[in-house]
Amino acid sequence: MTCGRTVEHDVVTAPRLSESASAVFAVLARAGSATRPQLAVLAGLSKPTVSSAVAELESARLAALSGTASSGTGRTAAVYRLGPDAGAVLAVDLGPDRTRVRGCALDGTLLAETVGSRADAADAVREALRALPAGTPLRTIVVAVGDVTARAADGGGMRPATDKAGPVFDAMAVALPPGVPVHLENNVNCAALAELHEGAARGRGTFGYLRVGVGVGLGIVVDGRVLRGANGAAGELARLPYPWDDGREPRREALEEYMGAASLLRRAAEAWRETDGPCPAGTERLFALAGQGCAPARAVVARHAADVGRLAAAVAAVLDPGLIVLGGSTGADPQLLPGVRAELARLSWPTEVVSSTVGELGTVVGAARLAVARGVRTVTEAVRRKD
């Protein structure tokens, strides 16, 4: 990936719209394309009001004619889509190993996608910006970070609260276009949104997304909304007291250290014998060997499954979510499911447990969905008058 100057994208203030035009724009963004009769039904407005709203949106280049559609009676109707000035959004996933960036139109259409290392986050952002259509207004940017967020010490915008993500965020932020609103969201919360809308939790308004990989985290969704908590720290399982028994004092974030990938590989190294062949250097290889029937690998994975099951039991005891979706670089492996389910059943009440279906793209997919929703609001909240 090459370094380069950030391509300029217009920072355009959305025109002030009537309430009906705002409503129609939001419906059109969700639908992607629609005729005026369809927009009237979806927006709950009269056909004359919709016709006036569409004209207003066309005049502002927020909607455009994209063709015609034939009805069963032989009549044709004009089909509309978002216009060239509707704009785009950017979603950035500052992952533990990779940076994933997506640029999307406000109807969710993917316009740009780049992947870089964690160290090359700024370059990945610049590359995605260059791939967006020239002159496209950039409405908002959502950055997913593996951290709690807090307001900057100088009173400026939000930033990661600790060194978990602070330095890499600062290094990436130099590539963001000035003047565009930037929203930070926890990476696990973003992945939970992806599971809610496109993954294993579709149709389930309340569930917990339990990510286990380099670290641990929980995305909590209640009635279709992410629960963030008073400090934005809901689901920070790393802060659960551990260890906690006679003669041992809990250490800060010791649970994450114990559950994380590095400790999992350390346990594998301790269990490995020379006759077992080369010890796996990564979790992907460890799980592959377990799947092939390698005895020490299977034993380490089984212990990990029991540990994840105990963590799931803690989640069930506090939230009773009904469903727990397992994600993360180790948590999503289906080999864990039997052990997790058995340990959870032993320690808590019945709770469904399934593996993630959105995989490693979950965070950037959820961040893009959040960015699109925020981008649409930047347009629809600019209301001029009541109809």
What does the pLDDT read at residue 382?
66
Query: SS3 string of the chain?
Result: CCCCCCCCCCCCCCCCECHHHHHHHHHHHHHCEEEHHHHHHHHCCCHHHHHHHHHHHHHCCCEEEEEEEECCCCCEEEEEEECCCCCEEEEEEECCCEEEEEEEECCCCEEEEEEEECCCHHHHHHHHHHHCCCCCCEEEEEEEECCCEEECCCCCCEEECCCCCHHHHHHHHCCCCCCCCEEEEEHHHHHHHHHHHHCCCCCCCCEEEEEECCCEEEEEEECCEECCCCCCCCCCHHHCCCCCECCECCCCCHHHHHHCHHHHHHHHHHHCCHHHCCCCCCHHHHHHHHHCCCHHHHHHHHHHHHHHHHHHHHHHHHHCCCEEEEECCCCCCHHHHHHHHHHHHHHCCCCEEEECCCHHHHHHHHHHHHHHHHHHHHHHCCECCCC
Please say if the pLDDT value at position 12 is more than 60: no
- What's the mean pLDDT when you consider all of the chain? 91
Q: pTM for this one?
A: 0.89
pLDDT band of 23, cuts 50, 70, 90: very high
pLDDT band at 9 (very low <50, low <70, confident <90, very high): low
Q: What is the pLDDT of residue 155?
A: 63
Which pLDDT score is estimated for 228? 93
376 vs 231 pLDDT, higher one: 376
Q: Does residue 70 have a pLDDT over 90? A: no
pLDDT confidence band for 67 (50 / 70 / 90): confident
Portion of the chain with pLDDT greater than 90, in percent: 81
Summarised one tens digit per residue, pLDDT across range 74-131 is 678 899 999 999 999 999 999 988 999 999 999 999 999 999 998 899 999 999 999 9
pLDDT at 238 over 50: yes
pLDDT band at residue 4 under the 50/70/90 scheme? very low
| pLDDT for position 294 | 95
The pLDDT value recorded for residue 156 is 67
Lowest mean pLDDT among 45-59, 144-158, 188-202: 144-158
Q: Which tens digits make up the pLDDT trace of 150-185?
A: 877 666 678 888 888 889 999 999 999 999 999 999
Instruction: State the Cα–Cα distance between residues 89 and 181, nearest whole angstrom.
Output: 10
Q: State the pLDDT at residue 108.
A: 95
